[in-house]
Amino acid sequence: MRDIFQQCDTFLYQTQPFWRFEPFHYSGALISPWHHIIPELDNRLEGLSLEHIVTLKQQPEQLTNLLAPYIPDLDNMVRLQDALLSKVSVESAREACRDLYTGVPGRKVRQIQSLGPFLVSRHQGEAEAWLEWCSGKGYLGRWLAAHTSHPVVSFEYQATLCEKGQYEADHLGLAMTFVQGDAFDVGSQSLFQAHQHAVALHACGDLHIRLMQYAVKGQLAAMTFSPCCYHLIEGQHYHPISEAGKRSCLNLTRNELRIPLQETVTGGERVKRHRQLEMSYRLGWDALLRTELGYQEYLPTPSIKKSQLSDGFQAFCLWAADKKGIDLPLVDFNHYQEQGIQRFWRMERLSLVQQGFQRLLELWLVLDRAVFLQEQGYQVEISVFCSREVTPRNIVIHAQKDNRV
């Protein structure tokens, strides 16, 4: 894995102009970040119909095929990525009881039904005890307690979630014990015992980093987790944890850690329409401020209720002006609304190129974690536990203590 990490690191460093930019802000620029390198790519993007742009955003393979002729080695890196992240195949478990999923959102149910059998197939620990990290109400822990005869300790920060989770577990007769605590308090490390198998479904940023650090110090038999929300870290820059990662020159910012999270495959059409409307409004507002009031940089504006978007672009501008204390002159709002729409589709064209690197950036982050665990004496595998339609954050890292070390 160290060699693959190095290949990925070198490739990302050499191709920075294609992914290290913010499409939202570049939508108003005259040229693209890569224009002086490969202007032909601009021509290709400009020739795309709006329908084709939408299709490419949902079809990674087609997107790679479009970009590969302009970005050397992209197709080779994607093939390497796909080979490393092959989808795991495990037998589906017989459902223990129908009440197991009470209160669990439908997509989360499908995630648990995919990850659960994977966990059982790789279960480790002398006493075969599960430690569910950042458990919430213990949805994953319920499944594990119901489908195995092994007890589950569920650790969660919010006391109300612990109370509700314990109530449901007791009601179902499951061997689950909820522990309330702060993951960032070093005292939480005492929860980790060598006989345990620590698990987590979508533990965010520094939370899954803490899971790895505590598990390593506790010499746990195994840990299995799906990382999520890489940008939720304490500092403004990512600090690699593996020795190989520490030698990297990428120095990713918190905003750049958001790039792997920008897929919208799990959002419905209503969510997509709201996004298009809000982004075009904000881009039109930006064009208005620059042209009419001489602004040189984007002026951040607060979040807006989705229901307000139906009031129209002019209402949005008046709302934003009021929030920022700006006196607006008389302007042609229709003109700037049209500019916002044009900039939105330019943003979408530019973001296609960045999207071609989303999974590779995530792979770099995942491999940093995997190599760190290897350095600590664990045998590590990384896999895909469900389809991207269920969740784009479908990578799972499994580490088993290597007793030969």
Which H helix or E strand runs over 203?
Answer: strand 196-204
What's the structural domain count of the chain?
Answer: 2
Vertex 308: Cα angle to 323 and 390 (nearest 5)? 115
Residue type, 40: E
Same domain, yes or no, for 147 and 208? yes
Closest CA to 362 of 351, 370, 373: 370
The model carries a pTM of: 0.93
DSSP state of 401: E
Which H helix or E strand runs over 61?
Answer: helix 60-67
Same domain, yes or no, for 320 and 240? no
The pLDDT assigned to 8 comes to 97
In DSSP terms, which residues pair with 204 in a beta bridge? Answer: 228
Same domain, yes or no, for 246 and 275? no
- Is residue 80 included in any domain, yes or no? no
- Is residue 66 included in any domain, yes or no? no
Count how many Cα atoms sit within 13 Å of the Cα of residue 147 in the half-sphere of its side chain. Answer: 22
- Is residue 215 included in any domain, yes or no? yes
Could you say which of 356, 371, 391 is where a domain stops? 356
Q: How far is CA 311 from CA 71, 281, 306, 308, 316, in A?
A: 42, 11, 10, 6, 7
Residue type, 209: I
Same domain, yes or no, for 364 and 245? yes
- Is residue 70 included in any domain, yes or no? no
The pLDDT assigned to 264 comes to 62
Judge contact between 399 and 387, C-beta under 8 A: no
The pLDDT assigned to 125 comes to 52
**How are beta strands 196-204 and 129-132 bridged, if at all?**
parallel
pLDDT tens by residue, the chain, 405 residues = 999 999 999 999 999 999 999 999 999 999 999 999 999 999 999 999 999 999 999 999 999 999 999 999 999 999 999 999 877 765 555 666 667 888 888 889 999 999 999 999 988 655 569 999 999 999 999 999 999 989 999 999 999 999 999 999 999 999 999 999 999 999 999 999 999 999 999 999 999 999 999 999 999 999 999 999 999 999 999 999 999 999 999 999 999 999 999 876 656 788 889 999 999 999 999 999 999 999 999 999 999 999 999 999 999 999 999 999 999 999 999 999 999 999 999 999 999 999 999 999 999 999 999 999 999 999 999 999 999 889 999 999 999 987 755
Residue type, 376: Q
Same domain, yes or no, for 120 and 231? yes
- Is residue 60 included in any domain, yes or no? no
- Is residue 194 included in any domain, yes or no? yes
Domain extent, residue 126, equals: 98-258+358-401
- Measured CA to CA, the distance from residue 277 to residue 305 in angstroms comes to 12
CATH number (domain holding residue 180): 3.40.50.150
Residues 380/382/386/390 CA torsion (nearest 10 deg)? 120
The pLDDT assigned to 105 comes to 85
Same domain, yes or no, for 176 and 114? yes
Same domain, yes or no, for 302 and 171? no
Same domain, yes or no, for 111 and 140? yes
Same domain, yes or no, for 284 and 207? no
Backbone angles phi, psi at 323, to 5 degrees: -65, -35
* CA-CA-CA-CA torsion sign (70, 72, 73, 77): negative
- Measured CA to CA, the distance from residue 44 to residue 399 in angstroms comes to 43
- Is residue 89 included in any domain, yes or no? no
- Measured CA to CA, the distance from residue 16 to residue 325 in angstroms comes to 38
The pLDDT assigned to 318 comes to 97
CB atoms within 10 A of CB 285: 24
The pLDDT assigned to 214 comes to 97
Same domain, yes or no, for 248 and 272? no
Judge contact between 208 and 334, C-beta under 8 A: no
- Measured CA to CA, the distance from residue 68 to residue 35 in angstroms comes to 16
- Is residue 71 included in any domain, yes or no? no
- Measured CA to CA, the distance from residue 405 to residue 403 in angstroms comes to 5
> Helix, strand, or coil here: 86?
coil
Same domain, yes or no, for 242 and 302? no
The pLDDT assigned to 95 comes to 64
Same domain, yes or no, for 334 and 321? yes
The pLDDT assigned to 402 comes to 78
What 3 state SS string does 223-246 have?
Answer: EEEEEECCCCCCCCECCCCCHHHH
Count how many Cα atoms sit within 13 Å of the Cα of residue 342 in the half-sphere of its side chain. Answer: 10
> Helix, strand, or coil here: 125?
coil
